[in-house]
Chains A and B, each alone.
Chain A
Amino acid sequence: MTIREIRDAIRSGRQSAAAICRDALARIDALNPRLNAFNTVAGDRALARAEAIDRGRDRWRDAPLAGVPIAIKDNICTRGLRTTASSRMLEHFVPPFDATVVARLEAAGAVIVGKTNCDEFAMGSSNETSAFGPVRNPWALDRSPGGTSGGSAAAVAAGLAPVALGSDTGGSVRQPSSLCGVVGLKPTYGRVSRYGLIAHGSSLDQIGPIARSAQDAAIVLGVVAGADAADSTSAPEPIPDYAAALTGDIRGARIGVPRALLEGVDAEVAQANAAALEVLQARGAALVDVDLPHARYATPVYYLVSTAEASSNLARYDGVRYGFRANATDLRAMYGQTRGLGFGAEVKRRIMLGTYVLSAGYYDAYYLKAQQVRTLILRDYDRAFERVDVVAMPTSPVPAFRLGERIADPLQMYLVDVFTVSANLTGLPAINVPCGFTRGAAAPKPGEPATTAAGLPIGLQLTGRRFDEPMLLRMADAYERDTEWSRQLPPIPSR
């Protein structure tokens, strides 16, 4: 069901919020053992909340999300509900406060059904760095759902929740949305408060909605967006009516295509993206070539900047105030052992890299240099947006890859982020729009397995001007009006 269908059903009395909640919980119960999308299912809490909404139906009548089940990524703090960041370090952490987005969702009537699995501290691109095991892609259970918000994307794709929140530091909302075939929006930096989001890269992190349509993403964004006294980087810009922007009319809109950047993209991904742009063109948008000469450096710049920020943010996990503590007889040893045992391999790798690039003698060569190139990437986009309204490219260069296929080589994993990290470095909003499924590349010889599996989702990414989420959502919605991709449900055997 869409958010509007749920609202109408509850308003008219056709269905209770409790019944809708029970349906979602039953589906989670049946399919989560296959998908591992949730770290924590909050069944009792969710039902109590749904029943309270039913009892106060008049009061909740105009609340935009009254009775809408929502899944929250497990790095977003929920008061009284375990929040782990998929790390041993926080395995038993129960936040004493709500993230601002959680408070806003609940004030709008949303019903939190659980906390979704993700890469540990949102570091990874495949969900395999989670301390609680990888999420499985609902379209192919032996494949990655992407990362880091893989649990949120898989939950929405499999219909375990109509909408979810993820967080996006280098593509962590958009890339799993692409690999799972759902809509995922990273808002402009500052559009949504980060208060209560477990920090990864503070100049890059942004919370965003994952949904089955641009309309549902627009409704959720409208609820969580806005300035917050608890986050000094949150933006005071007024919040437009995002749902009202979905007019279907994109005549005259200009779409920039950075062709030079697209080398090495999987052939089926490239083909589906080109076809999607034709659909938008047929609706009256114009395609324009743009050049982003520094965007090809975005991945190394991102891994220098984000790991530096992460190494600083993760200094707080020292075994003193919360989280895991190793037994040791003196304080220094307790710090070292707590962090050595509490963090997984990818998190340690990033803390090490970040510490190195910030250390005396290397700061100028790596961190400062990366920040200067970040400026050049920003200028490229500013220049492009003088001529176009959005920039289009694939969200991921490849469809969902097999679990285990890339995890042994960190660099191969980092390269998956090539098209998503620029939006974080520049702070620009970007959206994944499902635009097709692989047909499966032909086998090299008859009788051999095909080189790509068939039926894997493909995504188109649109990046917009600062605070121009309305344009991204309008274009995504216009595309959905002409296509059926985002309405597909994966056939998952329940055991």
Chain B
Amino acid sequence: MLAFDMPPALTRDDAARIAALAQLELTDEELDLLARQLGDILAYADQVQQIDTTGVAPTASVVTRHAADRPDELQPCLDRDAALANAPDPALDAGLFKVPRVIG
């Protein structure tokens, strides 16, 4: 399982696999640098592994009280032209965002 004694050293292939998950196209130099830097950061973060957290619930949010529910009513929202105004390649007449070819 995953109770590491030593943090895993990261290879360029590991970095490339993570970059692919994150949809980041990186150069070989960037991959080498990131493999080393992420390895350093994870080695530093390894001290967290030493803490006994048996039976401790995780904290994902510190919100203690949510704002009250509201009725589900139609409200005005951003109009289409405003939503398209920042698009790199808008199809203004059709009201669409255009993207490059998806299927070969």
- Within 8 Å by CB of B67, from A232, A329, A340, A345, lies A232
**Max chain B CB contacts within 10 Å: which of A336, A352, A368?**
A352
Task: Say if the beta carbon of B94 comes within 8 Å of chain A.
Answer: no
Closest residue on chain B to residue A309 by CB atoms? B60
Contact at B18–A359, with CB atoms within 8 Å? yes
Chain A residues with CB below 8 A from B99, complex form: 320, 331, 334
The tally of CB-CB contacts under 8 A between chains A and B is 183
Closest residue on chain B to residue A79 by CB atoms? B82
Contact at A466–B86, with CB atoms within 8 Å? no
Contact at B38–A203, with CB atoms within 8 Å? no
A94 in contact with B85 given A329-B101, A355-B22 (CB within 8 Å): yes
**Max chain A CB contacts within 10 Å: which of B26, B60, B78?**
B60
B29 vs chain A, min Cβ distance (A): 11
Contact at A236–B61, with CB atoms within 8 Å? no
B8 vs chain A, min Cβ distance (A): 9
Chain B residues with CB below 8 A from A27, complex form: none
- Within 8 Å by CB of A426, from B37, B56, B62, B88, lies B62
Q: Which of A278-286, A295-303, A432-440 forms part of the interface with chain B?
A: A295-303
Which residues in chain A, 17-35, are within 8 Å of chain B measured between CB atoms? none
Q: Which of A52-60, A370-378, A441-449, A487-495 forms part of the interface with chain B?
A: A370-378
Task: Say if the beta carbon of A419 comes within 8 Å of chain B.
Answer: no
Contact at A236–B67, with CB atoms within 8 Å? yes
- Within 8 Å by CB of A352, from B15, B70, B97, lies B15
| Mask of B88-104 contacts with A, CB within 8 angstroms, 1/0 | 11000000010111101
Contact size range, B: 35 or more
Contact at B37–A340, with CB atoms within 8 Å? no
Contact at B47–A300, with CB atoms within 8 Å? yes
Contact at B44–A365, with CB atoms within 8 Å? no
Number of interface residues of A (CB under 8 A): 78
Chain B residues with CB below 8 A from A92, complex form: 86
Closest residue on chain B to residue A332 by CB atoms? B23
B79 vs chain A, min Cβ distance (A): 9
- Within 8 Å by CB of A365, from B4, B24, B70, lies B4
Contact at A373–B67, with CB atoms within 8 Å? no
Task: Say if the beta carbon of B49 comes within 8 Å of chain A.
Answer: yes
- Within 8 Å by CB of A349, from B23, B38, B83, lies B38
- In whole angstroms, how far apart are the Cα atoms of A100 and B61 in the complex? 21
B53 vs chain A, min Cβ distance (A): 4
Contact at B56–A375, with CB atoms within 8 Å? yes
- Within 8 Å by CB of A339, from B24, B37, B48, B53, lies B24
B35 vs chain A, min Cβ distance (A): 9
- In whole angstroms, how far apart are the Cα atoms of A349 and B42 in the complex? 12
B83 vs chain A, min Cβ distance (A): 7
- In whole angstroms, how far apart are the Cα atoms of A365 and B46 in the complex? 9
Task: Say if the beta carbon of A237 comes within 8 Å of chain B.
Answer: yes
Chain B residues with CB below 8 A from A313, complex form: none
Contact at A190–B63, with CB atoms within 8 Å? yes
Contact at A366–B45, with CB atoms within 8 Å? yes
Chain A residues with CB below 8 A from B82, complex form: 96
Task: Say if the beta carbon of A427 comes within 8 Å of chain B.
Answer: yes
Task: Say if the beta carbon of B57 comes within 8 Å of chain A.
Answer: yes
Closest residue on chain A to residue B23 by CB atoms? A335
| Mask of A346-388 contacts with B, CB within 8 angstroms, 1/0 | 0011011101100101101110111111111010000000000
Contact at B101–A330, with CB atoms within 8 Å? yes
Task: Say if the beta carbon of A253 comes within 8 Å of chain B.
Answer: no
**Max chain A CB contacts within 10 Å: which of B21, B58, B62?**
B62
- In whole angstroms, how far apart are the Cα atoms of A362 and B10 in the complex? 13
Chain B residues with CB below 8 A from A97, complex form: 78
Contact at A297–B48, with CB atoms within 8 Å? yes
Chain A residues with CB below 8 A from B19, complex form: 352
Contact at B86–A93, with CB atoms within 8 Å? yes
Contact at B64–A411, with CB atoms within 8 Å? no
Contact at B86–A373, with CB atoms within 8 Å? no
B10 vs chain A, min Cβ distance (A): 8
A318 in contact with B65 given A300-B47, A371-B60, A375-B58 (CB within 8 Å): no
**Max chain A CB contacts within 10 Å: which of B37, B47, B59?**
B59
Contact at A303–B101, with CB atoms within 8 Å? no
Contact at A372–B62, with CB atoms within 8 Å? no
- In whole angstroms, how far apart are the Cα atoms of A319 and B99 in the complex? 9
Task: Say if the beta carbon of B74 comes within 8 Å of chain A.
Answer: no
Known: A411-B37, A411-B40. 18 other contacts (CB 8 A): A94-B85, A189-B62, A301-B48, A311-B22, A330-B100, A331-B101, A334-B100, A348-B34, A352-B38, A353-B38, A355-B22, A365-B3, A365-B49, A368-B58, A374-B59, A375-B56, A375-B59, A411-B41
Listed A/B pairs (21) with beta-carbon separation below 8 Å: A236-B65, A236-B66, A315-B22, A320-B88, A320-B99, A324-B88, A329-B101, A331-B102, A334-B100, A336-B23, A339-B23, A348-B34, A349-B38, A352-B18, A356-B18, A371-B58, A372-B57, A372-B58, A375-B59, A376-B53, A425-B62
In the A-B complex, the 6 residue pairs with the smallest Cβ-Cβ separation, listed nearest first, are A427-B62, A371-B58, A336-B25, A322-B86, A325-B88, A340-B25
